[in-house]
Amino acid sequence: MRDGYSIFETTCGWMGIVEGEKGLRRIFLPHANPEDIEATIRRTFPQASQNARAIEPATSIFAHYFEGESIPADLPVDWSGYPTFSIKVWRTAQTIPWGKVRSYKWVSLRMKRPFASRAIGNALGKNPFPILVPCHRVVRSDGRLGGFSAPSGIALKRKMLEMEGLKFDAKGRVRLQR
């Protein structure tokens, strides 16, 4: 089976997903218009074909996320080809529940790699499965958002956290849960 992709509109812009026979291969966060997201997908997966009908269940799930619905944890993901360390980071991030945040340090301690916060940040910045692997729920130890590799950057990260019910103080920090 050849990789298929779908582009769809959400309340935050145009998203795309690519799926192969083993599951999701990539999730692309919202872009301003469908042409930009399609160009990004075609650059990353030049052999993929548009296949909206086959991917419809997944596109619906991600569109509903931006309407305030959580994502089911059992969506099939194709982890093949990614570094083992990154997969461990992403799986650790998947344990952060809806409406909660944790620090990069928390992830490093959870992984028993207490000095790996920077490497963890780098792995999260390359997360191919955003939302499903909720890298937006990982913030700096002081509650500041840190980075976010989405086209609209930390503005989208903040919007996603607010949508999940998190509040920010006057300095733009979110309260960390222990």
The pTM of the full predicted model, rounded to 2 decimals, is 0.91
pLDDT at 168: 95
Band (51; pLDDT cuts 50, 70, 90): confident
Write down the pLDDT at residue 14: 94
pLDDT at 58: 80
Catalytic pick among 24, 29, 101, 135? 135
| Predicted local confidence at residue 157, as pLDDT | 95
- The span from the CA of 24 to the CA of 74, in Å, is 11
Question: Is the pLDDT reported for residue 53 higher than 80?
Answer: no
Q: Which long-range contacts (CB under 8 A, 24 or more apart) does 107-115 make?
A: 107/138
* pLDDT above 90 (res 28): yes
- The pair of structure tokens assigned to 18 is 């690519």
135 is catalytic: yes
pLDDT tens column, 99-151: 999 999 999 999 999 999 999 999 999 999 999 999 999 999 999 998 888 88
Residue 71 binned pLDDT confidence (cut-offs 50, 70, 90): confident
Check residue 149 and give its pLDDT: 85
